[in-house]
Structure formats: C-alpha cells, structure tokens
Amino acid sequence: MMRILIVGGGIAGFAVAKALELKGYQPELVERRPDQASGDSGLFLPGNAGRALDQLGLLKRVAEVAAFIPTQRILDHLGRPLSVTRTPDVWADCGPCLSLPRVTVHGILRQALQRTHLHFGVAVEGIQVLPKGSEVSFSDGSTSTYDIVIGADGIASTVRGLLFPTAKPQYVGNVSWRFITRNTSAIDSWTAMLGKGKTLLAIPVSAQDVYVYGDMALAEKDVPKMNAQTSLTVLFRDFTGPVVPLIANKPEDTYVHFGKIEHVVMDEWVKGRVVLIGDAAHASSPSMAQNAGMAFEDALVLADAIACASHPDAALATYAARRRNRIDWVQKQCVARDKMRTLPGPVRNVILKVLGNKLYARSYAPLAAPV
C-alpha cells in the first residue's frame, strides 16, 4: 500500500484524509498542535463547498447543524440596500449555501476519519526529496520515508517554507476582526455593509448565533496599531444599520480573532512527490468565501488523481493540471472584488445596484460547474 503523509490537521488536512480513505488508502497525518480546538470564527460555505461535502459523504451531517443561507444582501454603511441575490439562482443544481462555526466543520471532519493514523503534537522539521519519494524528519526525533507528502498546513505552511522558500504570504492591504456572538439583531441572511475602506458582515451560523466579520484597509506599517482588543464600536462609528448592534452588544469575554489578510500565489504546487493543497498552496482573501471550498475540492481531486494514476508522479501532475484554472479564477475574482470595494462610494454603490446580481453570477457560475 502506498505510504502517504498529510502534514496539517486543519480543514484541508482532514478533508484530504477522508477523501483518501474513500479511495481505500490509510494515510498518516501529523499536526503540530495538540488535539484540541481553541477560539472560533464562522465559516460560510457556498454551493460548490456543499457539493464537495456531499462527495465526501458529510453534507447531511453538516447541514443538520448549519444555517441555510438563501440570500446575500449588500447594504451601504447607513444600512440602505444596494443588492439582494438569491443564492439558489446560481447554486440550485450544485449544492446549498451553508454557514456554521469553523470548529464544528473541523470536528465533523475529524470524527469522520476511520483509518487515518493521526499524530498530534508532532511537527515536520525537514523534508528531503528523493527520486521516488521523500524522507521526512519529525520533532520527536523520528524519520520516515513516504511515496507522497501532502502539505495541508495552512497559510503559514512549514512544508511550503521548506520546499518553496520564496513563496511567501503577501499582505492584500486589509486587516480583519472575526467573532461569533448571539444574534440579537435577527440577522437571517448573509448581510454585508460597505463603507469607506471598511466592511461589516454578519452571517447566521445557528438558530441562536451569528458570525461577525469586520475589515478595514490599512497600510502594512500601521498594522501593529491594531489588535483583537481594538474598539470596533469606535472603528465603525460612522456605520448605522443591522450589523452595528452586534458589535455594541458583544460580551466583553467574546473571543475575537484579529489578523492581516494575506494571499498565497504560486506557479507550482508540486516538488518531487510533495504537493501543497488548500491555503498552503493558494490562500485567497475572504471576498469569495472560497478557501474552505477550494480545500474540499483539492482533497477530492487529489485523492481521485492518486487512485487513478499509474504512479505518484503522474498523479500529482494530473492534480495540478486539473486544479490550476479553477484556483486561478478564484484568486483573480478575489482581487477584482477587493478592488471594487476601494472604488469611490457613489460609484461602487451604483455598480452594485445596477449589476449586483450579474456580478455575483459571473463570479460564481464557473464554480457551480463540475470539478
């Protein structure tokens, strides 16, 4: 049996482990952190992510605990409507749009694994690419050789750093705050508010709770001036409307994740028999909400390529070829959508009022097509 190592116990790592199990493989997975979740934020899953979860055999379980998102509303910073999009208009033949806490998705993926050998608290410290595999050294002092190594260890990927040292995350010009709180504003759909260089977003993640996301444009030199304790009430004081009370009423002990928004753009994801997937390979800004969806699709395509190819080299080449156009499309759309948000408010608002639904369909229709 082929020896496959997965590096990273996040959504991408667990998804590819499940996809490989469905093909009859028994991969190993190492994760440097302990086997526990900390903090939380929300996860919006457009229809292509729902379809991928269905192919992984997990859609029913996710849908049972997720919020269904039938519409996406965009408002200006004063709460005036700019566009409303019915998500089934694009995704009806693909999958549902769902939203739920990230930790819940992670837990469902973790619990679904039956034959993967899991090793928590173990980090990869070195990878030597061999003619027919890779020798990997670990933080516990052990070494082992694998036919394929899959780097699924996120935007700060150790695997990418070891084998692709010049490919580093790049700041896209925005910082963000993310948290989950009680839905005291009765938010019932994906609801975004756009201001000058700032965005507020709220999405239901359960019957009681809502995921709140805020971002702002900021020069990289000024990032240290902001942190998780920054007063969002002050920062978004020029906003009025349905999302604002969720900030004002947030309990003081709410966990808030703060960070720079970065992306990873690479020409190659394969070196020898090592391959990068998910955010390790192609993290994007959240403007398309596709990082998890792309990771699920990566997992399915890679597992299929490994199962169908005559040898590992052919499998990884097939995987990269099948994923390139789709990943490029998502990353280009993210850049375009982020750029549109920087337009002068009156211009941006007119575009969204007149073309909002068409722009949504243009961005997402290619992703509704089969992988």
Residue-wise pLDDT tens for the chain (371 aa)? Answer: 899 999 999 999 999 999 999 999 999 999 999 876 666 799 999 999 999 999 999 999 999 999 999 999 999 999 999 999 999 999 999 999 999 999 999 999 999 999 999 999 999 999 999 999 999 999 999 999 999 999 999 999 999 999 999 999 999 999 999 999 999 999 999 999 999 999 999 999 999 999 999 999 999 999 999 999 999 999 999 999 999 999 999 999 999 999 999 999 999 999 999 999 999 999 999 999 999 999 999 999 999 999 999 999 999 999 999 999 999 999 999 999 999 888 999 999 999 999 999 999 999 999 999 99
Answer yes or no: is 317 within a domain. Answer: yes
53 in a structural domain: no
Question: Which residue in the block uniquely carries the two structure tokens 């990771």?
Answer: 295
What is the distance between the alpha carbons of residues 100 and 102, in angstroms, rounded to a whole number? 6
Does residue 8 sit within a domain?
yes
Evaluate whether residue 186 is within a structural domain.
Answer: no
Q: Is 121 contained in some domain?
A: yes
CB crowding 279-307: b at 16 or more within 10 Å, else e: bbbbbbbbbbbbbbbbbbbbbbbbbbbbe
Count, in order, helices (H) and strands (E) of the chain: 12, 19
Q: 278 is in which domain, residue-wise?
A: 4-40+58-68+102-169+264-343
The model carries a pTM of 0.96
What is the SS3 assignment for 147?
coil
The answer to whether residue 156 is domain-embedded is yes
Question: At 10, which amino acid appears?
Answer: G
Number of domains in the chain: 1
Domain annotation covers residue 295: yes
Reference 19, options 54, 69, 56; nearest CA is 56
Assigned domain for 240 exists: no
Task: Supply the DSSP string of 16-39, one letter for each residue.
Answer: HHHHHHHTT---EEEESS-S---S
CATH number, domain with residue 115: 3.50.50.60
Q: Count of residues for the chain?
A: 371
